[in-house]
């Protein structure tokens, strides 16, 4: 029997009462080794459920990961889905929009990568950048060629409305949506950024803009708080995951995914007995 995880403590409420100041970046779980052992068991269960999910083909699963730089998105995705069947799984990382992408509405580029039924898609960053990074740096809007009639005063509220409607539409059509905000503290973020300089195998991950962006941390925190309150809904919940402790962070994410898959009415498709008998007969003939 696997342990259930305290999802209620990590689930961002649907009543706009979430406060980042009350969201811990460090878990109170004392044992990293225990977290690692449990993660192995939970990822094996995710792998088993994913095979049924892939065969069942009644649902799609969209997982969205958002965090500040060095929040742990890449390593969490890598560790949680270590044993997953790649035939039913895809990770898409979204960087700055291309010229082609900026020629469309802000949901267009991510819509090209939505999972079909039976598939799991992970968005490493997502359309949420348009109400997070772009909100902190509204100068980025100048490259989006928005209509002159755009209501700039209510732009962000309109984008929240579009996201809620988009996710509700997906949920109504069989896409299960889970969204993870990895909450890393300022001190731990600094430690991880320095590690990118100190460890040669991590040098490639360092970007000078990561340092520059740290001065905007208060603004980023405010935009995250607003965004999570505006867009955490029963059909597309946000989970605020303490990210300073990587073993716990990965286990918490894995537990939520495992529990979500386990609650779905998944089954392997049944093949008609007449069809099975015909196939057996044909194989015997060969």
How high is the pLDDT of residue 6? 57
Domain ranges for the chain = 7-285
pLDDT class for 74, splitting at 50, 70, 90?
very high
Tens digits of per-residue pLDDT, 160-169? 999 999 999 9
For residue range 113-154, what is the model confidence (pLDDT) as tens digits? 999 999 999 999 999 999 999 999 999 999 999 999 999 999
Note the pLDDT of residue 47. 97
Q: What values do phi and psi take at 96, rounded to 5?
A: -60, 140
For the segment 236-271, what is each residue's pLDDT rounded down to a tens digit? 999 999 999 999 999 999 999 999 999 999 999 988
Burial status of residue 162 (CB atoms within 10 A of its CB: 0-12, 13-18, 19 or more):
middle
Asked if the model's pLDDT at residue 204 lies above 80, the reply is no
Interval 214-244: pLDDT, tens: 999 999 999 999 999 999 999 999 999 999 9
pLDDT of residue 1: 37
| Predicted pLDDT at 223 | 98
Res 2: pLDDT? 44
- pLDDT score at 244: 96
Mean pLDDT of the chain: 92
- Residue 18: pLDDT above 60? yes
What's the start-to-end Cα distance of the chain, in Å?
45
| Tens-digit pLDDT profile for residues 28-59 | 876 899 999 999 999 999 999 999 999 999 99
- Does the pLDDT of residue 16 top 60, yes or no? yes
User: Considering the entire predicted model, what is its pTM?
Assistant: 0.92
Res 272: pLDDT: 79
**Span 7-285 CATH architecture:** 3-Layer(aba) Sandwich (3.40)
Cβ neighbors of 211 (< 8 A, separation 6 or more) are 193
pLDDT tens, 147-193? 999 999 999 999 999 999 999 999 999 999 999 999 999 999 999 99
């Amino acid at each position: 029997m696997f342990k259930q995880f305290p999802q209620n403590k990590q689930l961002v409420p649907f009543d706009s009462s979430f406060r980042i100041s009350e969201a811990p970046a460090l878990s109170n779980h004392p044992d990293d080794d225990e977290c690692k052992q449990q993660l192995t068991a939970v990822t094996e269960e995710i792998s088993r459920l994913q095979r049924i999910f892939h065969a069942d083909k009644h649902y799609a699963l969209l997982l969205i990961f958002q965090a500040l730089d060095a929040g742990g998105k890449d390593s969490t995705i890598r560790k949680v889905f270590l044993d997953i069947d790649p035939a039913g799984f895809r990770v898409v990382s979204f960087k700055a929009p291309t010229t082609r992408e900026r020629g469309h509405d802000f949901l267009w580029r991510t819509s090209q990568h939505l999972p079909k039924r039976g598939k799991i898609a992970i968005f490493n960053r997502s359309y949420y950048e348009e109400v997070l990074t772009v909100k902190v740096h509204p100068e980025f809007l100048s490259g989006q060629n928005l209509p002159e009639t755009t209501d700039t005063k209510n732009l962000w509220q309109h984008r929240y409305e579009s996201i809620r409607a988009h996710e509700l539409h997906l949920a109504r059509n069989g896409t299960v949506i889970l969204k993870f905000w990895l909450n890393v503290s300022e001190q731990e973020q600094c430690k991880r950024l320095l590690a990118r300089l100190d460890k040669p195998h991590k040098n490639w991950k360092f970007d000078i803009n990561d340092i520059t962006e740290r001065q905007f941390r208060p603004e980023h925190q405010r935009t995250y708080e607003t965004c999570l309150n505006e867009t955490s809904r029963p059909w597309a919940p946000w989970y605020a995951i303490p990210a300073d402790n990587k073993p716990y962070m990965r286990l918490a994410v894995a537990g939520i995914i495992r529990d979500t898959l386990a609650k779905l009415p998944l089954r392997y498709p049944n093949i008609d007995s007449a069809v099975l008998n015909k196939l057996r007969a044909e194989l015997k003939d060969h």
